[in-house]
Structure 1
Amino acid sequence: MSSINFIPSLFLIITAHTCMVVTLFWNRNYYVKNSMAPNSEMDVDLFYDLDTSLSINLSLSSIFLLFELILLFRKVYSTPINIFLLFNHTFGIIILLKFILHYHPVHHFWIHFALFSVPTISIPVVQLFRDLSMKKSCY
């Protein structure tokens, strides 16, 4: 099976992952309120801290996904890398769907970021640096 056959699938799965992150970004107040203690008064400082944390998380996730989408069209990766990226994004989307349905607290999003955004961006970035280091500059 050719590695080029994975490009449409990766494009669709990265686009779907980005759409889910953007959806979470616009509904983040529910997740911030769910992260606070249920019987406590509304602490404004805690609310803004959690909101900032979630905003940073979702912004970084969106930036990483868009950067990964750009790098996808720069180079065709090997079949094992493509399969890893497909499975990682698929499981990431399934877990984000669970987060959307059940309003998980903010710290769960950081765990999701570490498991599903960082590994998927690290592979294309390592490949990019490897390609750039192998190129010889012409004078």
Structure 2
Amino acid sequence: MSTTFSTTASAAETAHKLTIVNPQSLYDPSAHGYSVSVVAPAGARVAYVSGQGGADDKGAYSPDFSVQVKQSYANLKKVLDALDATPAQVAKLTVYVVDHDPSKLGVLTQNVMEMFGETLPAQTLVPVPKLAIDPMLFEVEAVVILP
């Protein structure tokens, strides 16, 4: 299944929409908050967003995994705003989870669905023993397609 998501948009905006491709011959991952592949339009620019952790605006980290995930996506949204981009322009996410186990998948999926809705980016989850500093439990980096 190949789907291009768009809303009411100008011709210029439509020309820069991502195409989401979830082949019918593979399991549909959308219920888990990601797409198998995303195709950027010709001529688009690419922004690579460094990993955003769950630190609040004072640099503090909650010890709660779900709070850090929510804050990480809020921080990613702030970067998108600075790039004059929207979540619909995110083609790829890589998430890093400290001491990952299946119980964390619900929190991850919920936050991705809240931020991205139906326009789910391709995504890879990497379990790690630790991140840059000890309080970090989660980090998300993004590839953003700009007009």
Same fold by TM-score greater than 0.5: no
Give the alignment's TM-score, normalised by structure 2: 0.26
- Whichever of the two has the greater Rg, that structure is 1
Give the alignment's TM-score, normalised by structure 1: 0.27
User: Taking CA–CA contacts closer than 8 Å with sequence separation of 6 or more, which of the two structures ends up with the larger relative contact order?
Assistant: 1
The answer to which structure has the higher helix fraction is 1
The answer to which structure has the higher strand fraction is 2
